[in-house]
A and B are shown apart, each in its own frame.
Chain A
Amino acid sequence: MLTIDADAHVIECEKTWDYLEGDDRKYRPVSISVDMPTGRTRNFWIIGGRLIGGRDNVGADTSKESREMANIDSRLKHMDEIGTAVQVLYPTLFLRPVTDNPPIELALCRSYNRWMADIWSKAKDRLRWAAQLPLLTMEKALDELRWSQGNGACAVFVRGIETHHTLHDPYFFPLYEEASRLDMPIGIHSGIGNFQVNEALGGEPFRVAKLMVIGGFHSMILNGIPERFPKLRIGAIEVAAQWVPYLVHDLNLRFPKLAGKEARPQVLSGSNQLYVACQTDDDLPYVLKYAGDNSLMIGSDYGHADNASELLALKRLKEKGDIDPKVIDKILFANPARFYGLD
């Protein structure tokens, strides 16, 4: 049976920016290492005059050439070893706010997407990817979405907050409309795209990366985005699934207070639009009561070394004895296949 890693990563490197063209080359990120007062050396990108982190979230259980996609065969071989047929690739740099300058954002997104397309072209059936869109300029974002979809992207990467808007804001409706038309799901990945909120929360990972996504997912459901865009699929990626019962409980207290809405205990389990990537330490028998059999996926966070990283997550899930093997198969294949349109 094929298995799909619903959340794997690339680590951006110098090659990522080799796709900058013409005048955009002036925006090329510059890598820098800084000896911190703590004694650690930390690695950053300089982008638009800002020091942007993310170059240290690197999994030592993966080789550099695999993480940075310098050697695709090496990556594929490792995937074979860990029992993964297909990986869906998400960025690393963009998990945090990178720039609030539209031309810089556009340039970096374009270069990243072209790098990803190049990678995909070498392993089309095994490496798919989530497009990074320049959301500060919606018109350009839609152009990039269309281009990316034609070049191997199978999802739109967004963070829990994007630009200066919550995810249910009408600002994003053109994106959702076009993503629906192109059959591209929205992968709300652990991360944040707003400098002010990120700084207000001290960049604390649980708050800015995890809670932001849960809040974004909640606000989209509460504000009827799935109903407004009935073909749109929305996933919460790399935030575990243990919060799903909490979310369902809270929504069901709020729905009856809204005009025209009633409580929907099956808000996730009865939906074919909502998906969540789980972790092996989630109480899956309990979570499944709320999520249902058809909405969970799983990812390894390949390439990273953070709280969500578990290289052998897919293998371990297979070995879990506390849920029905048929459900395990769905989590490993059918559900991510449906979410990412890989059927």
Chain B
Amino acid sequence: MLTIDADAHVIENESTWDYMLESERQFRPKVVAATGGKDPFDYWLVDGHLIPRSNVGRDLPVEAREMTDLSLRIKHMDELGIDIQVIYPTFFITPLSRRPDIDLALCRSYNRWMAEIVKTTPDRFRWVLVPPLQSTEHISEELRFGKENGACGVYLRGLEAERMLSDPYFFSLYEQASELDLAICIHSANGAFTTHDFYADDPGFCKFKLTVIGAFHSLVFHAIPQRFPKLRIGIIEVSSQWIPYAVHDLARRFARRGKPFPKQPLKDNRIYVTCQTDDDLDHVLRYAGDDNLVIGTDYGHADNAAEIEALRKLKDDGKIGSAVINRILSDNPRALFGL
């Protein structure tokens, strides 16, 4: 049985941007550090915005978290009992620029950097590509590039391009992702300046987690999965403990509109959610079903969701039956990511 870490990360470094075109080099992010004060971390400077480089699991060797030495990372994965990691970015957790040309340059370079990193180890690493959502004419090229180079999903944040993910703006993306068999992976993150900046001092619950839960609700409420019947959707790094609440709310709204609500809403909508080991899984599974939870370690990070032993702990905890555990660790992520 292949054990799949459905949410692991890479920490970008200066070489991430080596793939920018000559004309794009002016947009290259720069690492900067405060000359005074006590910040233990530095920043990316991109388009006049400072992005803290604070969410870093410093207990991991830098070569492992930045994927400059894959053998080190793989050795650690073997120790943790992980066969495959699906890699997400770190840099793209917040909105970065309102300029389409900068957004395109960043996405393209990141995608090529990731493709280069994992090309020698497709059996251990897959990745989620970042689409240039402000330049819709370039999305197709990036999706195809990603698919041809080991990507198994498309990275989205809870809000993108100042829009909700149920907006028709994204329909072409969903159509193309469906055709290329790429999952849409909505990660704990926010791509909209308005709400992100409003919650400037929020540690992530409001600006990231609730944003993604809202996205789940919007997509189901507006029947986006029905519109794209081959589309698979991942809800990543927001735990699964909220599922009963969202399902209750949706059920009420559907009932008020005289619309039937599925008995297995996640299954019927092809939505998969990463759980955490502290979730009340016996309760959550009544709503999520056995076939739609996955789990990740948040490898590389040091935030609320980070639990490097998550997969092993799930196996060992004994809180739920072994058949369901195996589905969470293997069958379900294989279904989500098309592995």
List residues of chain A with CB under 8 Å of any chain B CB: 161, 164, 166, 194, 196-197, 200-202, 204, 206-207, 210-211, 214-215, 218-219, 222, 240, 242-243, 245-246, 249-250, 252-254, 257, 281-283, 286, 307
Q: Can you spell out 5 A-B residue pairs with CB atoms less than 8 angstroms apart? A: A200-B162, A201-B195, A246-B245, A281-B248, A286-B244
- Check B192–A200 contact: CB distance below 8 A: yes
Known: A206-B221, A254-B304. A222 touches B199 (CB 8 A): no
Cross-chain contact B248 with A286 (CB below 8 angstroms): no
* B249, CB-defined interface residue at 8 Å: yes
From B198, B248, B249, contact of A196 by CB (8 A)? B198
| Stretch from B39-47, B76-84, B276-284 at the A interface | B276-284
Residues in A with CB closer than 8 Å to B164 are 201-202, 204, 207
- Distance of A240 Cα from B97 Cα, bound (Å): 37
With most chain A CB atoms within 10 A of its CB, the pick from B164, B201, B210, B221 is B210
B203 at the interface (CB under 8 A from A): yes
Is residue B213 contacting chain A, with contact meaning CB distance below 8 A? Answer: yes
6 tightest A-B CB contacts, nearest first: A215-B206, A200-B194, A242-B245, A207-B214, A246-B241, A243-B245
Give B residues with C-beta under 8 Å from A.
Answer: 159, 162, 164, 192, 194-195, 198-199, 201-203, 205-206, 209-210, 213-214, 217-218, 221, 239, 241-242, 244-245, 248-249, 251-253, 256, 278-280, 283, 304-305
Question: How distant is B104 from chain A, measured CB to nearest CB, in Å?
Answer: 23
In the assembly, what is the distance between CA of A97 and CA of B195, in Å?
16
Q: Which residues of A contact B242 (CB under 8 A)?
A: 243, 246
B205 contacts A218, CB within 8 Å? yes
Q: How far is the CA of A19 from the CA of B214 in the complex (A)?
A: 39
CB contacts (< 8 Å) of B221 on chain A: these are 206
* A interface SS class: helix
Are the CB atoms of A196 and B202 closer together than 8 Å? Answer: no
Give which listed residue, A211, A214, A282, contacts B248 with CB less than 8 A.
A282
Which chain B positions have C-beta within 8 A of A252? 278
**A219–B202 contact, CB under 8 A?**
yes
A215 to B201, CA, bound (A): 13
A222 to B205: give the CA distance in the assembly, Å. 10
B207 to chain A, nearest CB (A): 9
Q: A222-B205, A250-B239, A253-B304 are in contact. Are A283 and B244 (CB under 8 A)?
A: yes
Contact between B245 and A207, CB atoms less than 8 A apart: no
Q: Assuming A206-B253, A246-B242, what are 11 further A-B pairs, CB within 8 angstroms?
A: A166-B201, A166-B202, A197-B198, A200-B162, A201-B195, A214-B210, A215-B202, A219-B206, A245-B244, A246-B239, A283-B244
User: Which one, B210, B241, B245, contacts A240 given CB within 8 A?
Assistant: B245
Residues of chain B within 8 A of A202, CB atoms compared: 164
Partner of B195, one of A200, A246, A249, A286: A200
B241 and A196 within 8 A (CB):
no
| Cβ-closest chain A residue relative to B283 | A286
- Check if A240 sits within 8 Å of B248, measured CB to CB: yes
Q: Are A219 and B249 in contact (CB under 8 A)?
A: no
CA of A242 to CA of B201 in the docked complex: distance in angstroms? Answer: 26
Smallest Cβ-Cβ distance to A161: which chain B residue: B198
Interchain nearest-CB distance for A191 vs B (Å): 15
Nearest CB of chain A from residue B186's CB, rounded to whole Å? 14
Q: Which residues of B contact A286 (CB under 8 A)?
A: 244, 280, 283
Q: Is the CB of A245 within 8 A of B203?
A: no
Q: Whole-angstrom distance from the CB of A249 to the nearest CB of chain B?
A: 5
Q: Which residues of A contact B201 (CB under 8 A)?
A: 166
CB–CB A249/B194 < 8 A:
no
Measured between beta carbons, the chain B residues less than 8 angstroms from A257 are 304
Q: In the complex, which of the residues A161, A210, A246, A253 has the most CB atoms of chain B within 10 Å of its own CB atom?
A: A246
- Assess the A196–B279 pair: CB atoms within 8 A: no
**Complex interface: chain A residues within 8 A of B209 (CB):** 250
CB neighbours (8 Å) of B192 from chain A are: 200
**How far is the CB of B164 from the nearest CB of chain A, in Å?**
6
On chain A, the residues within 8 Å of B194 by CB distance are 196-197, 200
Q: In the bound complex, do residue A222 and residue B203 qualify as a contact, i.e. CB atoms below 8 Å apart? A: yes
Q: Is the CB of A249 within 8 A of B199?
A: no
**Residue numbers in A under 8 Å from B202 (CB-CB):** 166, 215, 219
Interface centre among A196, A207, A245 (most CB of B within 10 A): A207
Please state if A219 and B244 are interface contacts (CB–CB under 8 Å): no
Q: Which of B162, B206, B278 contacts A253 (CB 8 A)?
A: B278
From residue B250, how far is it (CB to closest CB) to chain A in Å? 8
Residues of chain A contacted by B210 (CB below 8 angstroms): 207, 211, 214-215
Contact A210 B304 (CB under 8 A): no
- If A206-B249, A246-B241, A250-B304 touch, whether A166 touches B195 (CB-CB below 8 Å) is no
Q: Give the nearest-CB partner of A243 in chain B.
A: B245
Q: From residue A283, how far is it (CB to closest CB) to chain B in Å?
A: 7
Contacts of A200 in B (CB 8 A): 159, 162, 192, 194-195
Give the complex CA separation of A282 and B239 in angstroms: 20
Which residues on the A side are within 8 Å of B206 (C-beta)?
Answer: 166, 215, 218-219
Cα–Cα distance between A219 and B207 once the two chains are bound (Å): 11
Q: Kindly report which residue of chain B lies nearest to residue A216, judged by CB atoms.
A: B206
**Smallest beta-carbon distance A254→chain B, Å:** 6
* CA gap between A140 and B213 in the complex, in Å: 37
Cα distance, A240 to B245, chains bound together (Å): 8
Cβ contact of B278, chosen from A166, A218, A249, cutoff 8 A: A249
Q: Which residue of A lies closest to B247 (CB)?
A: A242
Is there contact, CB below 8 Å, between B198 and A194? yes
Q: Which residue of B lies closest to A289 (CB)?
A: B280
B214 touches A249 (CB 8 A): no
A307 in contact with B279 (CB, 8 Å): no
